[in-house]
C-alpha cells in the first residue's frame, strides 16, 4: 500500500511536473512529453529521498515540522503544476500554429497523464521492492550483486549491443531500395560507365546519384574502396571520368553520419548554378549522425579534410579549374568547417561555403553563409546552455522562442533533439532548397 505521500514527495512531484512542462523549441507528442515528465519526476523523487536521508542524520523530521502547513503545501503544489500545465498547453499550440501542426486538446493531456502514471508508479514500486530485497539479503550481498551486474553489463552486454548496432547499421547501409533506380548517365557514379559499383555506394549514396538534376553527381561509399586515401583517389578519378572538372563550379558536399546528403540542398545547388556544377560526396560512416558525433567525430573531419585537400591539389594543376565550394549540414557542417584553420583560411581556399544547422559553436562563421532555424535544438544545444543563454545571432526566426531558464532550457533542448526532424523544412533541424540557392559567390 502506497499510503499518504510525504510532503517531500508532493513537492518533488510538483517540481518535476513543472520543470518538464517548461517551454521548449518544438511540438511534442503526448508520449514524448509523458516520458520527459516521468523522468524528471523520478529524478526529483530521488533527490527528495536523498535529502530526507541527510536530514534524518541530523534528526530533522521534515514531516513533523511541516504537518500544520500540509494543506497549504498541497494547494501550492497543485497550483504550481496546474499553472505549468496551462502554460504548456498554450505554448504547445503556439508552436504548432507556427509549424502547421494540429493543435492539442484535452485528449492530448489525458494521454500525457496516463503515460506519466504508467511509467512512474511501476518504477517506484520496483525500486521499493529492490530496497526491501537489499535489506533482506544484507548490504554486503546486495553490493556484491550490484557489482556483478555492472561487470556483466560492461564486459558482456555492452560489447554485444555495440556489435549488434554495427551489424544493424551495416545491413541498413547495404539494403537495396527497389524504388531507387540505378542511373544510366555517365555523369553519375554507380552508372554502367562508372568505376564505382552501384552496390558499394551505400543506401544514401544510391539515393543521391539517382535523383534528377543536371549537375554531375559523384559519390564514394565506404565500400567503394578499402581505405580513406584510396577513396579520395577514386573520387578524383570519378570526377574526371564524368566530366566534373569541366563544369564551372565544384561543390564538396560533406554528408551526415550515415552518408546522407539532403536532396533539398542538391536541388538548390542545381538551381543555383543552372546545372553547370559538380556535386561530390564521400561517406565516412555507416552509423547515424548522433553516434558519429559522439564517438567518431574525428573520422568525419579527417574524411572531409582529405577529400577537399585532394580535390584542391588536383585543381591547382588544371589550366581552367572550376570554382570550389563546400557545403555541410549538421555533422557535415562541423566536419566541413574542420577543413580550415580559421575564417581567413576558409576565405582563401574556397569561393564560398554554406553550413546548414551547424551544432553550437562548431563552425567557422566569418566567411560562410550559415542557415540556422531559431527552433533548431541542434544549433543551440551545448553544455553551456545550463548556465548561459544561447547565441541566436544570425538565426532565422521561424517560430516562437522560449525565454532562457538556467538548467531547464538545457533539459528542454535536450528533449527536443529527439524530435528535431519532425517538422517540415524551415523548422527544427530541417532545411530546404535554400541550402543551395543561398550559397555565396566570389
Mean pLDDT of 48-77: 74
Q: Quick check: 151 pLDDT over 70? A: no
pLDDT at 226: 93
CATH of 183-437, one of 1.10.10, 3.40.50, 2.60.120, 3.30.1360: 3.40.50
Q: Tell me the pLDDT band of 59, cut-offs 50, 70 and 90.
A: low
> Following DSSP, what letter does each residue of 172-240 receive, concatenated?
HHHPPPTTSPPP-STTBTTSTT-SS-TGGGHHHHHHHHHS--SSEEEEE-TTSSSSHHHHHHHHHHHHH
- CA 409 to mean position of chain CA atoms: 16
pLDDT at 160: 56
Residues 381 and 417 sit within 8 Å (Cβ to Cβ): yes
Give the whole-angstrom CA distance, residue 7 versus residue 96.
Answer: 37
Give the whole-angstrom CA distance, residue 205 versus residue 202.
Answer: 5
Cell numbers at 273, concatenated = 548554378
Q: Quick check: 143 pLDDT over 50? A: yes
Full-model pTM: 0.86
**282 - beta bridge partners?**
220
pLDDT at 1: 43
Residues 305 and 413 sit within 8 Å (Cβ to Cβ): no
Q: What is the pLDDT of residues 419-439, one digit of tens each?
A: 999 999 999 999 999 999 999
Q: What is the pLDDT of residues 156-172, one digit of tens each?
A: 655 655 555 556 666 66
CA distances from 57 to 62, 63, 64, 80 (A): 12, 15, 15, 30
Give the whole-angstrom CA distance, residue 32 versus residue 111.
Answer: 11
Query: Helix count (H) and strand count (E) of the chain?
Result: 17, 6
Amino acid at each position: 500500500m502506497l499510503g499518504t505521500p510525504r510532503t517531500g514527495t508532493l513537492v518533488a512531484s510538483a517540481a518535476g511536473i513543472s520543470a518538464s512542462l517548461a517551454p521548449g523549441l518544438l511540438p511534442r507528442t503526448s508520449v514524448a512529453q509523458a516520458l520527459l515528465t516521468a523522468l524528471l519526476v523520478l529524478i526529483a523523487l530521488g533527490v527528495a529521498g536523498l535529502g530526507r536521508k541527510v536530514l534524518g542524520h541530523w534528526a530533522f523530521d521534515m514531516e513533523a515540522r511541516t504537518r500544520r502547513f500540509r494543506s497549504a503545501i498541497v494547494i501550492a503544489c497543485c497550483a504550481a503544476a496546474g499553472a505549468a500545465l496551462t502554460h504548456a498547453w498554450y505554448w504547445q499550440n503556439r508552436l504548432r500554429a507556427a509549424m502547421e501542426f494540429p493543435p492539442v486538446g484535452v485528449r492530448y493531456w489525458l494521454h500525457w497523464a496516463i503515460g506519466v502514471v504508467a511509467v512512474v508508479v511501476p518504477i517506484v514500486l520496483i525500486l521499493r521492492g529492490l530496497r526491501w530485497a537489499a535489506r533482506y539479503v544484507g548490504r554486503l550481498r546486495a553490493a556484491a550483486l550490484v557489482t556483478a551486474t555492472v561487470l556483466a553489463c560492461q564486459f558482456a552486454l555492452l560489447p554485444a549491443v555495440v556489435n549488434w548496432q554495427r551489424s544493424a547499421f551495416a545491413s541498413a547501409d547495404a539494403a537495396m531500395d527497389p524504388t531507387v533506380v540505378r542511373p544510366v548517365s555517365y555523369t553519375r557514379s554507380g552508372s554502367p560507365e562508372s568505376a564505382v559499383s552501384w552496390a558499394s555506394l551505400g543506401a544514401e549514396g544510391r539515393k543521391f546519384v539517382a535523383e534528377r538534376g543536371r549537375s554531375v553527381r559523384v559519390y564514394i561509399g565506404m565500400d567503394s574502396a578499402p581505405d580513406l586515401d584510396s577513396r579520395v583517389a577514386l573520387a578524383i578519378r570519378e570526377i574526371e571520368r564524368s566530366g566534373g572538372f569541366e563544369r564551372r563550379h565544384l561543390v564538396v558536399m560533406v554528408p551526415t553520419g550515415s552518408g546522407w546528403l539532403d536532396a533539398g540542398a542538391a536541388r538548390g545547388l542545381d538551381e543555383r548554378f543552372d546545372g553547370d556544377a559538380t556535386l561530390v560526396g564521400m561517406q565516412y560512416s555507416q552509423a547515424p549522425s548522433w553516434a558519429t558525433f559522439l564517438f567518431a567525430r574525428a573520422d568525419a573531419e579527417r574524411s572531409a579534410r582529405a577529400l577537399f585537400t585532394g580535390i584542391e591539389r588536383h585543381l591547382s594543376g588544371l589550366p581552367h579549374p572550376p570554382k570550389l565550394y563546400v557545403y555541410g549540414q549538421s555533422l557535415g557542417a562541423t566536419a566541413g568547417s574542420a577543413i580550415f584553420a580559421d575564417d581567413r583560411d576558409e576565405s582563401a581556399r574556397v569561393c564560398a561555403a554554406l553550413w546548414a544547422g551547424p551544432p553550437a559553436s562548431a563552425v567557422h562563421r566569418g566567411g560562410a553563409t550559415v542557415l540556422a532555424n531559431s527552433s533548431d535544438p541542434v544549433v543551440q544545444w551545448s553544455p553551456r546552455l545550463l548556465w548561459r543563454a544561447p547565441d541566436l545571432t544570425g538565426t532565422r526566426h521561424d517560430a516562437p522562442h522560449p525565454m532562457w531558464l538556467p538548467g531547464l532550457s538545457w533539459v528542454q533542448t535536450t528533449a527536443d533533439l529527439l524530435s528535431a526532424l519532425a517538422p517540415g523544412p524551415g523548422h527544427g533541424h530541417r532545411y530546404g532548397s535554400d541550402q543551395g540557392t543561398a550559397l555565396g559567390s566570389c
